[in-house]
Amino acid sequence: MALPGWLYRYPALLPHLKQKLLALAAALLLLGPATACAPTPSLSPADSATLENSGYGFIRDGVSSRDEITTRIGLPVYEFEHRRILIYRCHNSDNLVSLYSVGPVDPYNPREMPSPHPELCSVVLVFDSNGILAKHSLVISK
Amino acid sequence: MNPHSAMPIPRIINKIDSPEAKSPPGKNRPNRLRILLLFLIAAYLSGCAIIPIITTEQGLRSGRGQILESDLAAFEIGKTTREEVLFKFGEPSLVLNDQKLIVYRWAVSKGGAIFVAVAPGAGMAATAGPIDRYYLVRIEFNENGRLLRFDRSSSIWSEMDKKINEWIPSEDKKYTRTMRILISPAPTLSALQQDADAPCLGVKIRVEDFADLRPDLEAGSPIGKVKPAWLKEGVDVCTRQQPSEVVRDSVMTQLQAMGAEITDQGPEVVVSGAVRTFAIKTTNNRPGWYNLFGSVEFDLTARHVTAADAGVTRHYKIACRRHSMSPFSEEKFTAVLGDCMKDYQRQTDLDIDLIWEINSGFVPGAGGESP
């Protein structure tokens, strides 16, 4: 490994430095994954057809009932405002989403995702006072 | 020779700092190399050094995705509703203070740092780690679900748990990052799979809910605590299912493997049980080597529906051990409790008296034949 010319004026350093620079280069390689040039995905609503194309055609505004949806999918991860708003977690792969029930949030441990999960998405369902789906949204990272 | 005495460090530093040593504009590469070497020399002298390499923000290090300032621009205090926020950003990272405070957080990569440790005469070790920038969006609503206030902040040093709590006035509702490991020990089938030779083939069995007789029991209470010496506070280990359900599932699985039919309709045998111990313990004999102990103790009673007073009772007390390099291995905790349940299943496979009792129920009143 070539070192800058001025260093050769200090021969006592050379044997140590060459070996250390190699170790440093190895550490720099380790840094690669951490500093890899990857864009940061943003949370944003997805095309409403994505859910239907993924086999969730039964989630239809003005038609589906809360009971029907919870029976077919399971318990949502979050319920707000006396079950008027339900949130389901889903997995997004190439615009094909799959909803799954992970059950409600553990009251002893608010659920957080410590590792990056840009593939995880959310389905937000808003019901009217009769328990019929008023509107829904699919939020993905892109 | 003392290597330190041979190094004219001040001269090198002077040389680097001197104006003539500076590179011409646009050619700063030699300077960077010199700075790097300076770090190395500093590491050599002081024993260790941290070399930060700060880059532009990129990639996602935790969370689901980022929320930009522009995403929040449309929010209006007193007008925007919780529904609109959730509709736009989906599942929050945290929901606190009776759903009045919603938190989204994520982290992005901000480069990395190289940690260099030098022991004179013994050489040098270098490793690298990421530097993250943590982002936090706090959104607070009033009693009517209307936006009260919101902000977006970031820090390179902390995940800002304190900042979250600034907006929670009530002490008992403050957010605390629970150090907790959740495991799902699942019953495993014994080597004895259901086949024509299964010893309890066709016996209808109802398995009642198991009682939980563990002392000092509270819902969600941990089954153990891991506290390595270097950690200030221990980490609780909890099960997703109640331990009594885990044991009951194991018993049901084993009975099914023995050929029994688990049903609530017209059972011939009723099995009940009570869990007395379901615990995890860790010991650390030497650095990086942990012993994980699992212990399960429970009672099991099988009785005929026609002879409620009769029946067989078993007391199982099982302890298993596994090794782990990490004290926080969910997989190993799950496995060591799985080992305990497997041991119970092995014991049942060989328990002729129990099998006899269960089969006696298959022919009500007949007293049963030897299986």
- Cβ pair B182:A24 closer than 8 A: no
Q: Residue B25 belongs to what domain range?
A: 1-46
Q: Select from B142, B173, B204 the last residue of a domain.
A: B173
Confidence of residue B162 (pLDDT cuts 50, 70, 90): confident
- Does residue A136 carry a pLDDT above 90? yes
| Structure confidence at residue A12 (pLDDT) | 67
As to burial, measured by CB atoms within 10 angstroms (0-12 exposed, 13-18 middle, 19+ buried), residue B288 is: exposed
A1 interfaces chain B, CB cutoff of 8 Å:
no
Q: B143 and B118: one domain?
A: yes
Which range of B122-126, B132-136, B366-370 scores highest in mean pLDDT? It is: B132-136
| Structure confidence at residue B43 (pLDDT) | 62
**Residues B284-324 pLDDT 10s:** 766 667 888 999 999 999 888 877 667 788 999 999 999 88
Percent over 70 (pLDDT), chain A: 63
More confident residue, A90 or B43: A90
Q: What are phi and psi of B176, to 5 degrees?
A: -125, 130
- Cβ pair A115:B62 closer than 8 A: yes
| DSSP conformation class of B1 | -
Q: B129 and B16: one domain?
A: no
Q: B277 and B211: one domain?
A: yes
Q: Which residues of B touch A114 (CB under 8 A)?
A: 62
For A:73-132, CB contacts with B below 8 A are 77-78, 80-81, 84-85, 87, 89, 105-110, 112-118, 120-124, 126
Q: Is the ipTM of this complex over 0.90?
A: no
Per the structure, the count of domains in chain B is 3
More confident residue, B102 or B112: B102
Confidence of residue A26 (pLDDT cuts 50, 70, 90): low
- Does residue B177 carry a pLDDT above 90? no
B62 inside domain: yes
**Residue A111 and residue A106: Cα distance in Å, rounded?**
7
Would you tell me how many other CB atoms lie within 10 Å of the CB of residue A121? 27
Q: B147 and B13: one domain?
A: no
Q: What are phi and psi of B286, to 5 degrees?
A: -145, 155
Query: Cβ(B322)–Cβ(B283) under 8 Å?
Result: no
B371 inside domain: no
pTM over 0.80: no
> What is the CATH classification number for the domain harbouring B301?
3.40.50.10610
| Structure confidence at residue B14 (pLDDT) | 36
**Residues A38-80 pLDDT 10s:** 788 888 888 878 888 888 999 999 999 999 998 888 888 889 9
Q: B37 and B57: one domain?
A: no
Confidence of residue B238 (pLDDT cuts 50, 70, 90): confident
Q: B149 and B22: one domain?
A: no
B32 inside domain: yes
Those residues with Cβ within 8 angstroms of residue B345's Cβ, 6 or more apart along the chain or in another chain: B187, B188, B189, B190, B250, B253, B254, B257
As a whole number, the mean pLDDT across chain B is 77
| Structure confidence at residue A138 (pLDDT) | 94
B248 inside domain: yes
| Structure confidence at residue B25 (pLDDT) | 46
Q: Which residues of A touch B3 (CB under 8 A)?
A: 12, 16
Q: Select from B125, B154, B173 the last residue of a domain.
A: B173
